[in-house]
Each structure stands twice: as C-alpha cells, then as structure tokens.
C-alpha cells in the first residue's frame, strides 16, 4: 500500500467505540468523490452494505475504500484507477462507515447512507 492510501497515525482509541469520528483523507485513491485533504465522518455503527464507503483495518494500518459485496465475497475498492483492490474474508476488519463528507459551507457537505 502507498502511504497516501492509509491512515497510519489515526487515533481510533480516543473515542468511545460507538461514537462517530472524523478523519482527513490522504492521497487520491478515492478521487474524484473524496479529494486529498477532505474531512470524512465515520460511524462505527453504520450499516455495512454494498457500495458503502468504509474505513477498514489492514494489519497495523487503516484504509479508506468503497466496499463491494458479491454473494459472500467482499472487496475494498478504490475509486481512482491504479490502486489495488483488497479482498476481505469477512467484514470484521471494517471499523466504520463514512456517513458524511464535511465542507466549509453547509451546501458543500455530503451525506452518505
């Protein structure tokens, strides 16, 4: 994985496990929907479903991707070409679902379900 695709220094232990938290997107793997530097709100209790944007733990690192589900198979897929697709055994490594992309103005905020 490239450093621009992961959250190496994220502090996930600072929030209660069920409280939403914010992260800054690093790199271009989720462009054009999520630009480098965008702030995303992650809900650990969000609904895990096909097409959801998720943060998952991969070894000692965290990665932001779109979840794809086909039958009993799961993948983490970048939106931008040239980034690896990661197959998951199950959804247990998913730490939360992106529910909002913050914006400086109310009109710039996006909500995801």
The sign of the torsion formed by the CA atoms of 4, 87, 59, 43 equals: positive
**What pLDDT score does 10 carry?**
47
Per-10-residue mean pLDDT for the chain, 113 residues long? Answer: 46 65 95 94 96 96 96 97 95 97 77 81
CATH number of the domain within which 29 lies = 2.10.109.10
Instruction: Kindly state the tokens that stand for 99.
Output: 């529910």
Query: What pTM, to 2 d.p., does this model score?
Result: 0.81
Is 12 within a domain?
Answer: no
- Which residue range forms the structural domain that includes residue 37? 3-7+17-111
The number of domains in the chain is 1
HSE-CB at 107 with a 13 A cutoff on CA atoms is: 0
* H or E segment and range at residue 77: strand 73-77
Instruction: Kindly state the tokens that stand for 7.
Output: 């959250």
Q: Give φ, ψ of 111 to 5 degrees.
A: -110, 145
């Amino acid at each position: 994985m490239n450093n621009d695709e992961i959250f190496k220094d994220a502090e996930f232990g600072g929030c209660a496990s069920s409280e939403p938290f914010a992260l800054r997107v690093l790199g271009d793997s989720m462009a054009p929907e999520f630009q480098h530097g965008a702030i995303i709100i992650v809900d650990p209790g969000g609904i895990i479903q096909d097409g959801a944007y998720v943060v998952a733990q991969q070894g000692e690192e965290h990665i932001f991707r779109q979840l794809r589900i086909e039958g009993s198979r799961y993948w983490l897929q970048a939106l931008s070409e040239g980034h690896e697709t990661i197959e998951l055994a199950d959804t247990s490594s998913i730490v939360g679902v992106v529910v909002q992309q913050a914006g400086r103005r109310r009109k710039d905020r996006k909500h995801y379900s």
